[in-house]
Amino acid sequence: MEFSLINTPVQKFDGDMVVVFANSKIDFADDNVQQLIKLNHFESKPGSTLLLSLVKGFKAKQVLVVGLGELPNSAKNYIKALTSASAILNSTQAKSAMIEQVEIEGFDQGWRHRMSARVLKDSGYKVQQVGVQGQDDPLENIAIQSTYNDAHELLQGRSIASGMRLTRHLGDLPPNICTPTYLAQTAQELANEFNLDCEVLEEADMRKLGMGSLLSVSKGSIEAPKLISLSYRGDGDSKPIVLVGKGVTFDSGGISLKPGAGMDEMKYDMCGAASVLGAMRAIAEIKPKINLTIVVPAVENMPAHNASKPGDVVTSMSGQTIEILNTDAEGRLILCDALTYVEKFNPEVVIDAATLTGAVIVALGKHHCGLMANDQELADDLLTAGKVSLDSAWQLPLDDEYDELLKSNFADMGNIGGREAGTVTAACFLARYTKKYRWAHLDIAGTAWVSGAKKGATGRPVPLLTQYILDQV
C-alpha cells in the first residue's frame, strides 16, 4: 500500500474510488453529490457511508461519501470515518483511491496525513489463519488530497501502521505457535531486516545474572524462557529510550490457576512485548535521530509439579526477595528482573507496557490504558502523546501508602497487595525496581485486545509509544 499527496480537485481523480466527507451541515461542494446525498436520505452520522457509482462530473468509477457527524469535525469522528471507508475500500477490491482534504479541529495537516495513512493501512489488517498464506492488500495506491506538500508525516503514519500490524499479528497468533522462542525469532528477523543489534539471553545466562524472579515463572513450563534485547541506533552514543514489554505467551495463572472461561484470551498476555516490537518496527522504518532499545522478558506461565507455589520465596536480580503469594501475579515477577537488567543500557527513560492487571479494566474500562510514573514530566509527555495519537492513557497515583500493601512477613515484599487498587499496587511493586532512572508504566490489559465477536489484538499502544518517541527527536 503506497501513499502519496496530491493537490487536484476530487472530480479529476482518475482512479477507482474517491472518498469525500459530509458533516451535519450536508452542504457538499459538488452539486451532483449534493443531490445524490439528499435523494438517498444520507444522514452524516460518524462513519456512516453512501457508495455512489458513475457520478456525473467525476472521473473516478465510484464516490464514497462518509459521515463526519457534527461540526466542527472531530479527530475521533475522522478516525471512525476513515475506518468505515477502509472497510468499503477493501471489500470492493478498489486498487486506487483518493481521500478528500478536510479540516480537523485542533490538529494540523501533518497530523491528518499521519493519521490517514495509519488508519487506512491498519484497517486493512486481517487475521492470518494457521496454514493459510497471507494475502497482499487489495488497495495499492492511496492519494491524500492536500495543499501542504510534505509527505514525511504520511510516511510516519504508514510505518506506525506497519508496526501495529506486527503487534496485532503476534497477539492474534495461537499460543502454541507464538512462544518465547517465536518472539525471539521475530526480534532476530527485525534485526536482520533493519540492521539492528539483537541479543537473546537463554535460561543459563539469566541464572548467571541472578534473575530468580523471572525464572520462577517459567520453571513450570516446557517452553524455554528468553530475554530479548533489540537496539536501534540513530543518534550516536546518546542515552537510549528503553521500552520493556511483558511477554507472557500464555498465562494460565500457574498453580493459582485461572478459571476456564475465556482463558484462551491469555494468549494476549504477550501484547506488551508485541507492542514494543511493533514500536521498534515503526521506528526502524522511520529512522529518526534517536536511540531506542526494547527489552522483552518472554515466558510461559504454566502449572506443573515443578512450577512455583504460593509461599515460595525467590531472589530477584536486584537482590530484593519476593514471597510469591499468587502465581497468577507473574507479570511483575518477570518485569522486575527485566527492569533491573535495563540499567546496563544507561537509559534516558524506561517505559514498560504490560497486560498487568484485570483491575485496570475495572478502573478504566477499555478506552484508556493506565499510566503510572515516578517522574511527572515523563507522565505528562506520555499523556500528550496519547491524546495526539488518539491512543490515550489515564494517570493513576503511585503514593507510598499503596506500597505498604506489599509488606510480607517472609521476604522484602509479597507479589500481591490484596483486593484494593490492584493496578496501583502492581505498579508499586515495579517501582521498587526502577529507582535509578525516570520510569513510566502502561497497564494495557484493557486496551491491547478486544473480546467478543470481534476478538482480536488492537495494536495499542504502538501509536502512543511511537508518537512519544518521535516527540523526543
What residues act catalytically?
258, 332
Range 251-286 burial, b when 16+ CB lie within 10 A, else e: bbbbbbebeeeeeeebbbbbbbbbbbbbbbbbbbbb
**Closer residue to Mn ion, CB minimum distance, 251 or 443:** 251
Shortest CB 451 distance to ligand BES, Å: 9
Contact partner at residue 359 from ligand BES, Zn ion, Mn ion, none, CB < 5 to 8 Å by partner kind: ligand BES
Q: Which of 16, 330, 337, 403 binds ligand BES (CB under 6 A)?
A: 330
Shortest CB 323 distance to Mn ion, Å: 16
Local structure of 306: helix, strand or coil: coil
**Interface contacts to Zn ion, rule CB under 5 A:** 248, 251, 269, 331
**Closer residue to Zn ion, CB minimum distance, 266 or 440:** 266
Shortest CB 310 distance to ligand BES, Å: 10
Question: What are the angstrom distances between the C-alpha of 360 and each of 62, 296, 364, 394?
Answer: 45, 22, 6, 10
Stretch that binds ligand BES, among 107-115, 131-139, 276-284, 325-333 (CB under 6 A): 325-333
Q: Which of 357, 392, 447, 466 binds ligand BES (CB under 6 A)?
A: 357
DSSP state of 304: -
**Closer residue to Zn ion, CB minimum distance, 65 or 295:** 295
DSSP letter string, 191-237 = HHHHT-EEEEE-HHHHHHHT-HHHHHHHTTSSSPPEEEEEEEESSTT
Euclidean distance between CA atoms 273 and 243, whole angstroms: 9
Size of the site for ligand BES (CB under 6 A): 15
Q: Which of 30, 223, 323, 328 binds ligand BES (CB under 6 A)?
A: 328
**Closer residue to Zn ion, CB minimum distance, 269 or 337:** 269
Could you give the count of Cα atoms lying within 13 Å of 152 in the half-sphere of its Cβ? 4
Long-range CB contacts (< 8 A, 24+ apart) of 204-209?
206/337, 209/317, 209/337, 209/341
Euclidean distance between CA atoms 412 and 112, whole angstroms: 50
Nearest to 265, CA basis, from 369, 175, 362 = 175
Contact partner at residue 145 from Zn ion, ligand BES, Mn ion, none, CB < 5 to 8 Å by partner kind: none
Q: Which of 69, 297, 422, 461 binds ligand BES (CB under 6 A)?
A: 422
Shortest CB 226 distance to ligand BES, Å: 18
**Closer residue to Mn ion, CB minimum distance, 19 or 322:** 322
Local structure of 416: helix, strand or coil: coil
Shortest Cβ contact with Mn ion: which residue?
Answer: 328
Using the structure block, give the residue that is written with the C-alpha cell 449534493.
34
CB-count exposure of residue 7 (10 Å: 0-12, 13-18, 19+): exposed
Euclidean distance between CA atoms 244 and 350, whole angstroms: 7
CB-count exposure of residue 6 (10 Å: 0-12, 13-18, 19+): middle
**Interface contacts to Mn ion, rule CB under 5 A:** 251, 328, 330
Q: Which three cell numbers stand for residue 283?
A: 521506528
Q: Report the chain's C-alpha Rg in angstroms.
A: 24
Q: Which of 67, 225, 254, 331 binds ligand BES (CB under 6 A)?
A: 331
- Residue 329 engages ligand BES in binding (rule: CB under 6 A): yes
- Residue 358 engages ligand BES in binding (rule: CB under 6 A): yes
Shortest CB 360 distance to ligand BES, Å: 8
Shortest CB 302 distance to ligand BES, Å: 13
Question: What are the angstrom distances between the C-alpha of 137 and each of 120, 166, 193, 196?
Answer: 11, 15, 21, 27
Could you tell me the maximum CA-CA distance found in the chain, to the nearest angstrom?
Answer: 79
**Closer residue to ligand BES, CB minimum distance, 100 or 328:** 328
Euclidean distance between CA atoms 102 and 172, whole angstroms: 34
**Closer residue to Mn ion, CB minimum distance, 164 or 416:** 416
**Closer residue to Mn ion, CB minimum distance, 172 or 300:** 300
Shortest CB 356 distance to ligand BES, Å: 6
- Residue 445 engages ligand BES in binding (rule: CB under 6 A): yes
Shortest CB 447 distance to Mn ion, Å: 17
Euclidean distance between CA atoms 111 and 381, whole angstroms: 17
Contact partner at residue 326 from ligand BES, Zn ion, Mn ion, none, CB < 5 to 8 Å by partner kind: ligand BES
Contact partner at residue 357 from ligand BES, Mn ion, Zn ion, none, CB < 5 to 8 Å by partner kind: ligand BES
Residues 249 to 308 in contact with ligand BES, rule: CB under 6 A: 251, 269
Where along the sequence are the contacts to ligand BES (CB under 6 A)?
251, 269, 326, 328-331, 355-359, 416, 422, 445
